[in-house]
A and B are shown apart, each in its own frame.
Chain A
């Protein structure tokens, strides 16, 4: 979570449904109507870097600017799909930084069941990733689709597993260097 970390900045850009609790002048630009006011009760998706800070007042109980909701990427429907079969869900389509987003959401909301579902999902998919990464011919058939649906964390995992397997094969003389 370094300040300069590109993935962390991109995670911060993912959106969260927010509801404004008061009318704010000139903030219509957030809705795409520059110059207008934003009305109390307006519900718009704001990036984490904005929504999280605006909601802090609400959480401290001092003044309510906006209230947050769980993003659609982590909705009940998605959780059910993940419970049914973690491997067939296209996480990248839900959110490119799916797990980093969930981490942040779990800091904001207490969702014990979600933690369990996500841990199970991550584990199941990780062993699938390992299998694909060790295949020197690259992914085939179903694998292509599965790998396309990996979120950023999983992609990095795949890359690491793939590279270390390859480096070892190169060392053993079973593969050519580059």
Chain B
């Protein structure tokens, strides 16, 4: 049988993945450490804060055994600042507000500096560069480094919605937060929709469209439509693309091998 779900991943699946995000809790009861598949959980000793995966934090919250400390970006102040960037800032009229910097990436404050990727090491000594969702983007921070503008993490919509659902009494101003999240979502969805104009670039060989700052749920929601548009454009433009490639092959045959041009040559779509 054909797989019954649409292509890509569905909202419940995306939100399931978001439940792996680490959040900060304040336990109200002692709890022994747990050995989970995703790694050990330290013993909970009130009033010491602890970092737990969101799904476990939500479970403890529902059982009234812990309070969740909301991540910095989920404060109404941070959210309205981000909303301002999304709507007012001329650089981001058609783009998304910048995501949290990766480790080693220079923040907006010192732009122009070279990024230095900071590696981490696996228990076996293997080197890797962590990226979302393997970065603690949703834990509470005691002090925010000055000059660092707030930013939406990869799973902002999922984490925000789930915390509003299950732990609204732990948030600073839940109603205001809910309103801001909704507004942010509307502004950004409209941006994704109006992005159709640049998609013909993505449909030709070697082209691409930057999705920097777009969240997991937003990618999931837009996937079907965007892939459909790119596919449609590719099909209509197939004959032109064919001509372009033939021209390129001819140029290459005449002008010798140009190594900078060959990277999209053997790509099959």
Residues of A that sit less than 8 Å from B by CB: 99-100, 102-103, 106-107, 110, 112, 115, 118-119, 122-123, 126-127, 130-131, 133-134, 153, 156-157, 160-161, 163-165, 167-168, 170-173
Which 4 pairs across A and B sit closest by C-beta, in order of nearness?
A171-B11, A160-B224, A161-B225, A130-B193
Indicate if the CB atoms of A112 and B161 lie closer than 8 Å: no
> A107, A133, A134, A156 — which one has the most chain B CB atoms within 10 A of its CB?
A134
Indicate if the CB atoms of A126 and B232 lie closer than 8 Å: yes
| A-contacting residues, B153-199, CB 8 Å | 161, 165, 189, 193-194, 196-197, 199
Q: B178: shortest Cβ distance to chain A, in Å?
A: 11
Residues of B that sit less than 8 Å from A by CB: 6, 10-12, 15, 161, 165, 189, 193-194, 196-197, 199-200, 217, 220-225, 228-229, 232-233, 235-240, 243
Q: A37: shortest Cβ distance to chain B, in Å?
A: 36
Residues of B within 8 A of A153 (CB): 232
Q: Can you identify 28 A-B contacts, CB atoms within 8 angstroms?
A: A99-B236, A103-B235, A107-B238, A112-B240, A118-B236, A119-B233, A123-B229, A123-B233, A126-B229, A126-B232, A127-B196, A134-B193, A153-B232, A157-B229, A157-B232, A160-B6, A160-B225, A161-B224, A161-B228, A163-B6, A164-B6, A164-B222, A164-B223, A167-B221, A170-B11, A171-B11, A173-B161, A173-B165
Indicate if the CB atoms of B200 and A99 lie closer than 8 Å: no
Take A103-B236, A156-B228, A160-B225 as given contacts and tell me if A167 and B10 are in contact as well, using a CB distance cutoff of 8 Å.
yes
Q: How far is the CA of A164 from the CA of B229 in the complex (A)?
A: 15
Indicate if the CB atoms of B189 and A119 lie closer than 8 Å: no
Q: A19: shortest Cβ distance to chain B, in Å?
A: 23
Known: A127-B193, A164-B223, A172-B11. 18 other contacts (CB 8 A): A102-B236, A103-B235, A112-B243, A118-B236, A119-B237, A122-B232, A123-B197, A123-B200, A130-B225, A134-B189, A157-B229, A160-B6, A160-B225, A168-B217, A168-B220, A171-B11, A171-B12, A173-B165
Q: How far is the CA of A110 from the CA of B266 in the complex (A)?
A: 24
Q: B62: shortest Cβ distance to chain A, in Å?
A: 16
> B10, B161, B196, B232 — which one has the most chain A CB atoms within 10 A of its CB?
B232
Indicate if the CB atoms of B236 and A115 lie closer than 8 Å: yes
Q: How far is the CA of A160 from the CA of B223 in the complex (A)?
A: 9
* B224 interface neighbour in A102, A127, A163, Cβ under 8 Å: A163
Indicate if the CB atoms of B232 and A164 lie closer than 8 Å: no
* A103 interface neighbour in B15, B165, B238, B243, Cβ under 8 Å: B238
Q: A163: shortest Cβ distance to chain B, in Å?
A: 7
The A interface is mostly helix, strand or loop, or mixed, namely helix
Residues of A within 8 A of B220 (CB): 164, 168
Q: How far is the CA of A56 from the CA of B223 in the complex (A)?
A: 39
- Identify the closest chain B residue to A123 (Cβ): B196
Residues of B within 8 A of A167 (CB): 10-11, 221
Residues of A within 8 A of B10 (CB): 167
Residues of B within 8 A of A110 (CB): 239
- Identify the closest chain A residue to B193 (Cβ): A130
Q: A161: shortest Cβ distance to chain B, in Å?
A: 4
Q: B113: shortest Cβ distance to chain A, in Å?
A: 37
Indicate if the CB atoms of A157 and B228 lie closer than 8 Å: yes
- Identify the closest chain B residue to A1 (Cβ): B235
Residues of B within 8 A of A130 (CB): 193, 196, 225
Indicate if the CB atoms of B199 and A123 lie closer than 8 Å: yes
Indicate if the CB atoms of B221 and A164 lie closer than 8 Å: yes
Q: B221: shortest Cβ distance to chain A, in Å?
A: 5
Q: How far is the CA of A106 from the CA of B235 in the complex (A)?
A: 10
Q: How far is the CA of A112 from the CA of B241 in the complex (A)?
A: 11
Q: A71: shortest Cβ distance to chain B, in Å?
A: 16
Q: B116: shortest Cβ distance to chain A, in Å?
A: 37
